[in-house]
Amino acid sequence: MKRTITKSQISDAVEEAYNDCKSISGGVNAHYIPYLANVDSNLFGITVTLPSGETYGFGDTEYRFGIESVSKVPTAILAMRQQSPQAVLDKIGADATGLPFNSIFAILLENDHPSTPLVNAGAITACSMISPNGDSEGKWKAITDNITDLCGSAPELIDELYKSESETNFNNRAIAWLLKNYNRIYDDVTMSLDLYTRQCSLGITTSQLAAMAATIASGGRNPLTGKQIFCPDISARITSLIATVGFYEHTGDWLYTSGIPAKSGVGGGVLGVLPGKMGIAAFAPPLDDAGNSVKAQSAVKAVVSKLGLGIFESDPVEIV
Ligand code: GLU
């Protein structure tokens, strides 16, 4: 028999998760990007959006924080939309590196491809794949229009963060040129790196990220606008990428303990996808040693466990 979960149970679970996690301490803000080091460490918000569009949010859900690595998700989707899932597999790959997000060693080990669009190397390659080729502003418009479609509202560039990242991204410069060496940059190197840095500097809210996650969970249909953004096949592909590498070198531990494919960013955001069920987003700046938000990961995990909705659960569930 199918287990049923009501929308009010979902709303209660999100509120309880918020209350249970709001006093969790531990972790430190990302210190290698000066802007992020200075964000208020007490900010915390969580939002759930259902395929039917209902949204439940608690805490600082309208605060715009740096999207950082979570931006790798929409740009991987865009590369799949503009080219194809196969092109992303061929030109980037879909394997976890098992190494930190900014690893140079991972590129050397793989030798000829950047492994996955959800680590720095693969994300810089993904930016180089975006059309129109050779046109920085055209590419930027495509990247931000895609995020706007996925969220149902526009992100905003945080100029100070962009400046802060551009002045300190020496490791990413090394990655970009190493990729060029392996013929894995498909446009101008400096432009591709700049687009990557700019997309990481977009300000986004948990409300927006939950809508993006719900669009992925709903086969590419944005539940807030009703617009079909991409074909359902891309949902399965991007969710598999998120599942294999979303929490960097802690991804296995994360999936084992939480049951939800999720992508984190060093701005403190986490985007989680429960296919066919819901999108979840949480945000709190202090990070663990792998770069994942301590409080946001606890809150996302709490929602999934309270509702028994992990993707590996075998009992059929219906949200009514
Ligand atoms: N802009 C950051 C970097 O390139 C993003 C890292 C992250 O969120 O994992 O280092």
Q: How many CB atoms lie within 10 A of CB 86?
A: 10
CA of 291 to the centre of ligand 1 (A): 9
Q: Using alpha carbons, list the distances in angstroms from residue 313 to 3, 216, 241, 310, 317.
A: 12, 20, 20, 6, 9
Q: Compute the radius of gyration of the chain from its Cα atoms.
A: 18
Exposed/middle/buried for residue 316 (C-beta within 10 Å: 0-12, 13-18, 19+):
exposed
The pLDDT tens digits of the residues spanning 116-147 come to 999 999 999 999 999 999 999 999 999 999 99
Tell me the pLDDT tens digit for each residue of 154-213. 999 999 999 999 999 999 999 999 999 999 999 999 999 999 999 999 999 999 999 999
pTM summary value: 0.97
Average of pLDDT values for 22-28? 96
How far is residue 143's CA from residue 129's CA, in Å, rounded to a whole number? 11
Please report, rounded to a whole number, the percentage of residues in the chain having pLDDT higher than 70. 99
What six digits make up the tokens of 260? 């939800």
What distance in Å separates the CA atoms of residue 201 and residue 199, rounded to the nearest whole number?
5
pLDDT at 112 (0 to 100): 66
**Quick one: tokens of 153?**
């509202």
Q: How many CA atoms does the CB half-sphere of 60 hold within 13 Å? A: 17
Please give the pLDDT value at position 316: 83
- Average pLDDT value for residue range 284-298: 95
* Residues contacting ligand 1 via CB (< 6 Å): 68-69, 101-102, 120, 165, 172, 200, 265-266, 291
Distance from the CA of 90 to the center of ligand 1, in angstroms? 24
Q: How many helices (H) and strands (E) does the chain have?
A: 14, 10
Which structure tokens are listed for 146? Answer: 């895609």
Furthest CA-CA distance within the chain: 57
- Residue nearest (by alpha carbon) to ligand 1 atom 6: 69
Residue 115 confidence (pLDDT): 85
Contact indicator for 155, 204 with CB cutoff of 8 Å: yes
Q: Give residue-wise pLDDT tens across range 90-112.
A: 999 999 888 888 888 888 887 66
Question: What's the whole-number mean pLDDT along residues 33-45?
Answer: 96
Return the pLDDT at 109: 82
**Tokens linked to 232:** 């359902």
Beta bridge partners of 204: 65
Atom of ligand 1 nearest to the CA of 248: 9
User: Counting atoms of ligand 1 from 1, which one is nearest the CA of 266?
Assistant: 8
Q: For all residues of the chain together, what is the average pLDDT?
A: 95
